[in-house]
Structure 1
Amino acid sequence: MTTTAVGQAAGTTADDRPKAHLGLTLLALCAAGLVVSLQQTVVIPLLPRMIVQLNTDVSGVTWLFTAALLSGAVATPLLSRFGDMYGKKPLVLTAMVMLIIGSVICAFADTLGIYIIGRALQGTSAAMIPLAIGIIRDTFPREKLVSAIGIVSGTMGVGGTIGLLITGVIADHTQDPHPVFWLTAGLGVIAAILIQFSAKNTGVRHGGKPDYLGAILLAGLLICLLLGISEGPRWGWGSGSVLGMFAGAIALTAVWVLVELKVEQPLVRLPLLVGPQSLSANLASALLGFALFGSFTLVSNFIQTPADKVGYGLSGSVLAVGLYGIPSAVLMTFFSFRTGKIAGKIGPAYTLAIGAAFAGLSMAWLAIFHEHGYDMVISQILQGTGFGIGYAALGTLAVQHVPMSESGIASGINSLVRTAGGSIAGAVTASILSAHVIYGTHVPTVNAYVASFAILSVGAFLTAAVALGHGLRHKGE
């Protein structure tokens, strides 16, 4: 394997870079991160409307959200590996181009299948976040790393919440979902231009070849798992189809592990997935992703449920979904810029534990109190605080224990498990909502929502426990 040093090895150190240029680089990476996270959620408030427009059900339309997370889970380690091989900046631009193409496809789509294809292409842009963290580690001075990584990581929650608001504003003026996707395409173009003219392609590049077989097996096992979970209520949990899906997921997982152990340059280096420090960091990431992405879909659907017809819900519009999310967006932004200082004092693990505890409280609140609009506002305040702190700390926790040369793939693996956790959350909550409906309708019961909120709350509290354990176990390392 060959290793070629560029950028810093040529005589330019991170400390010599003008502060103004570092600021522009951070701005461009944050803009790209906002667009990526925004595309993940812009479709969520439209799901109840698109059930009717596309003649499908909750389980079917949820794949518009899950498909993006699934493709992101597969693309993230693959593009991160490409970034280590060929440089991270070209792969960031590649991720943005895929987002733009997927957005344009959705902007012309008129069937569920075409939408899912477009959403899958959009979802590959999730690889941008670990690639951006790799660029930061390659270019920023050590004393600014924690803050910069925290800010970029925090854009995941901020952009997601802003996406809900933007969609609400657009949907308040038209029933057509296509303008939302034209917007993400345009924002993707702007972010790509900013990246092109501000970020530098520095760092250490490694030779070798990608692990395509590993990527195919990973995609297969995730598809089998998610199909089994999401279609369980429709096909029957004891049916041959569902049991076959779960059996396929187990078999493909076993084969995938064997391949990753034997291939010279694996898609996922298992020590970075289940190593002494990596295991707890990645488990926390999966659980936090489960709680965050699951909450987006549940909250949106619950707000739009007409209380006068089914006896619960907030009877809100698509715009109301975004308006309720404003406190969350503001607090996520606030804490994403300040969490770096907190993590610098008490460590990213303890910081993550604090954030995850707030996130758990936000879902627990809705599981108990959900009859009034102010209940949703309180929950959103807790959520913005929790995910703002948690996601910013998670970016640092994922890479602090690995060599600089492996920061891209380590961050990519952490993003992989986070998006996989989000995909599972979408499938689990869709399964619960589909299985428990009001008699004679396709509308979920209020108990189905309560159970889903409670499950997400448990996921967030488990994140806090794992992060706390990580901090205690690796104290001083």
Structure 2
Amino acid sequence: MTGVAVAEPGAVQRGRQLWLTLLALSMAGMIVSVQQTVVIPLLPRLMTVFGVSVAEVTWVFTASLLVGAVATPLLSRLGDMYGKKRMILFTVGLLILGSVVCAVSVSLPVLIAGRALQGASAALIPLAIGMIRDSFPQEKVMTAIGVVSATMGVGGTLGMIVTGLIADRTTSHHPVFWITAGLGVVAVLLIAVSAHDTGTSAGGRLDLVGASLLSVWLVCLLLAVSQGNDWGWGSGRVVGLFAGAAAVCALWVFSQIRLRAPMIRLHLLIGRRSLPANLAALLLGFAMFGSFTLVSSFVQTPSSAGYGFGGSVLDVGLYALPSTVTMLLSSFMAGHLSTRLGPARSLALGAAVTAAGFGWFTVFNASVLDLIGANALQGLGFGVAYAALGALAVQHVPMDQSGIASGVNSLVRSIGGSASGAVTAALLTSITIAGSAIPTRGAYVLSFAIITVSAIASALVVLVSGVMAREVSGVG
């Protein structure tokens, strides 16, 4: 015996297996983010290609949003019941199928159908977070969640760059979707080979009543939010959708309380430990998705408006590269920060840094350097915040509910993003330069200020909830 510790071959092999699994999940997450952002710059071109109005072409984005909102809690729950790997492969399979449908589409309805299929892949991120929580050692969980979460920003940037490169060379939208289909096939192969379910499956039967009611009120709510600017917030359709969402939501809550095995146990949504994480997710989602659309529009605004950089879609992606780099770097640091500070304080720190980036561009937005510096700061904050958010969402729930807990958190974040899109669109369309439809600089400043406040509020939510939890613990 030499006294030198030697790692067991089995432990080394398991470690390699876990990091290969992380690579596969990260790539799949990146592709999901690519498909979410890749169509945004294409919308004006699709209007010309299909000869349709703005309201009609918006369904290319809205269809994916609605299906994603319904699929996220449903597939997350199925992942807990029957295995997360199976559901991850299913979601990526739907993404590939949807990409192929979009790639061969020659009419708007077919393209929308393909986008709806792609939208189901939104469930992949919470499923991946649940698998990480089940499989990885406790000390590695937050770092792994951080890496997968960072792929959202990476994929969003890559989507813009890919679209920009293709837009410069062809007027067709088909190549973009062939690329996402090809990447999806690679991801399926990696996941099939490397990923393994190690957690306990809950089994049982799906709550079909709860799933149906949840689907109805989510579609009503998000449809009203996403179409409110086009249809008019006081119109009968929008008011009716909001009223319908409230009524069906009440029925859904009643059904979840009454059932012994509901689809979503309400403590995962509004419980004492879950509510702060979900509120923080709502506010961070509002900030992140709002920044995507605001920065894209600001960069492409011609400088003749008195602001903006007159950039292309490709420029939007290139200017976002600093945030991608810093997000990746900070996601790897997230585990170390969590060990020192705890997930809640790490989330507060990340949200505060993100707010500093938004605040910077709110005040200083005259040059490209201002944008690059603000983007780098935002990426640094988001990398830490989203890793901590993913860990908080599943920290206090049983292993067999990790998928649905992460799915609820992801769903709430998506609702925040939808609300952000509606709010910023309303501001940019109502505060315009006289005699034109171009938003004023003040409209952008106000919008960036709102998402800055949203990021600050996210930090305050987790800090205040942490203080209250310690006080309750001290009293007990």
Question: Quick check: 1:177 aligned with 2:181?
Answer: no
Q: What are the residue-to-residue correspondences of 1:391-406 with 2, within 5 Å?
A: 391-406=386-401
Q: Which of 339, 344, 348 is residue 339 of structure 2 equivalent to?
A: 344
User: Which residue of structure 2 aligns with residue 457 of structure 1?
Assistant: 452
Matches within 5 A, 1:226-375: 226-308=222-304, 310-375=305-370
| Secondary structure of residue in 1 paired with 2:233 | coil
Do structure 1's residue 94 and structure 2's residue 71 form an aligned pair?
no
Is 1:191 the counterpart of 2:182? The answer is: no
Question: Structure 2 CA distance, aligned partners of 1:23 and 1:261?
Answer: 40
Name 1:423's counterpart in structure 2. 418
Greater alpha carbon shift after TM alignment, 129-138 vs 212-221: 212-221
**One-letter amino acid matched to 1:149:** I
Q: What's the CA shift for 1:263?
A: 3.0
2:126 to 107, 117, 130: 130
Q: What is the distance in 1 between the residues matched to 2:144 and 2:156?
A: 19
Distance 1:71 1:274, change over 3 A: same
Cα displacement string for residues 263-288 of structure 1 (whole angstroms, at most 9, x for unaligned residues)? 33322211111001100011111111
How far off is 1:306 after superposition? Answer: 1.7
Q: Distance in 2 between matches of 1:349 and 1:370?
A: 31
Equivalent in the alignment of 1:117? 113
Matches within 5 A, 1:46-61: 46-55=42-51, 61=57
Q: 1: CA distance between counterparts of 2:113 and 2:426?
A: 22
C-alpha separation between the residues in 2 aligned to 1:343 and 1:396?
9
Q: CA-to-partner distance for each residue in 1:116-147, whole Å, 9 max, x for gaps?
A: 33222212112111211222222222232222
Q: Distance in 2 between matches of 1:340 and 1:72?
A: 29
Q: How much has 1:221 moved relative to structure 2?
A: 2.3
Q: Name the aligned partner's letter for residue 102 of structure 1.
A: G
Residue 256 of structure 2 is aligned to residue 225 of structure 1? no
Q: CA separation of 1:104/1:206 partners in 2, compared to 1, >3 Å: closer, same or farther?
A: same
Amino acid at match of 1:430: A
From the superposition, tell whether residues 212 and 332 of structure 1 become closer, same or farther in structure 2 (CA, over 3 Å).
Answer: same
In 2, Cα distance between the equivalents of 1:81 and 1:352? 25
Distance (whole Å) between structure 2 residues aligned to residue 399 and residue 60 of structure 1: 39
**How big is the alpha-carbon RMSD for the aligned residues of Structure 1 and Structure 2?**
2.4
Of 138, 144, 165, which aligns to 1:142? 138
Cα deviation for residue 299 of structure 1 reads 1.1
Write the letter of the residue equivalent to 1:241: R
Retained in 2: the 8 A contact 1:44–1:300? no
Q: CA deviation at 1:58?
A: 5.6
**Which residue number corresponds to residue 414 of structure 1?**
409
Separation in structure 2 between the aligned mates of residue 257 and residue 318 of structure 1, nearest angstrom: 43
Q: Which amino acid aligns with 1:312?
A: Y
Q: CA distance change for structure 1 residues 443 and 117 in 2, over 3 Å: closer, same or farther?
A: farther
AA in 2 matched with 1:152? V
C-alpha separation in 2, matches of 1:204 and 1:37: 28
Amino acid at match of 2:198: T
Query: In terms of mean alpha carbon deviation, does 203-212 or 111-120 score higher?
Result: 111-120
AA aligned to 2:32 is: V
Question: Percent sequence identity over matched residues?
Answer: 56
Corresponding residue for residue 203 of structure 1: 199
CA distance in structure 1 between the partners assigned to 2:195 and 2:325 by the alignment: 27
Does the Cα contact within 8 Å between 2:146 and 2:383 map onto a contact in 1?
no
Match of 1:104 among 95, 100, 104: 100
* Separation of aligned partners in 2, 1:471 and 1:113: 48
Q: Is the 8 A contact 2:66 2:223 kept in 1?
A: no
> Could you tell me the TM-score, scaled by structure 2's length?
0.90
Answering whether residue 38 of structure 2 is matched by residue 42 of structure 1, we say yes
For residues 233 and 360 of structure 1, the distance between their equivalents in structure 2, rounded to whole angstroms, comes to 27
Residue 471 (structure 1) aligns with: 466
Select the residue among 81, 85, 91 that pairs with 1:85.
81
Give 5+ residue unaligned stretches, structure 2: 1-9
Query: 1:8 is matched with which residue?
Result: none
The letter of the residue matching 2:257 is L
Partner of 1:152: 148
- Rounded to whole Å, the distance in 1 between the matches of 2:374 and 2:208 is 42
Q: Secondary structure at the match of 1:267?
A: coil
- Which amino acid is 2:456 matched to? F
Matched residue type, 1:341: H
Match of 1:444 in 2: 439
Q: Name whichever of 26-35 and 106-115 sits farther off.
A: 106-115
> Aligned pair 1:378/2:373, yes or no?
yes
1:16 offset after TM fit, Å?
Answer: 8.5
Q: Distance in 2 between matches of 1:296 and 1:404?
A: 34
Distance 2:291 2:56 in 1: 18
Deviations 1:342-401 (A, max 9, x none): 111101111111111122222233333323212211221121111111111111111111
Q: Give the letter aligned to residue 421 of structure 1.
A: G
The alpha-carbon distance between structure 1 residues 15 and 214, as it changes in their structure 2 partners (threshold 3 A), is farther
- Separation in 2 of the partners of 1:407 and 1:17? 26
Alpha carbons 1:81, 1:409 under 8 Å: kept:
yes
| CA distance in 1: counterparts of 2:421 and 2:106, whole angstroms | 23
- Distance verdict in 2 for CA 1:290–1:445, change over 3 Å: same
107-116 vs 187-196, greater mean Cα deviation: 107-116
1:59·1:230 contact (CA, 8 Å) conserved in 2?
A: no
Distance (whole Å) between structure 2 residues aligned to residue 294 and residue 115 of structure 1:
25
Q: Distance in 1 between matches of 2:18 and 2:107?
A: 44
Whole-Å Cα distance in 2 between the matches of residues 53 and 312 of structure 1? 30
User: 1:55: Cα distance to partner?
Assistant: 4.7
The residue number in structure 2 matching 1:6 is: none
Q: Quick one: distance in 1 between partners of 2:263 and 2:208? A: 8
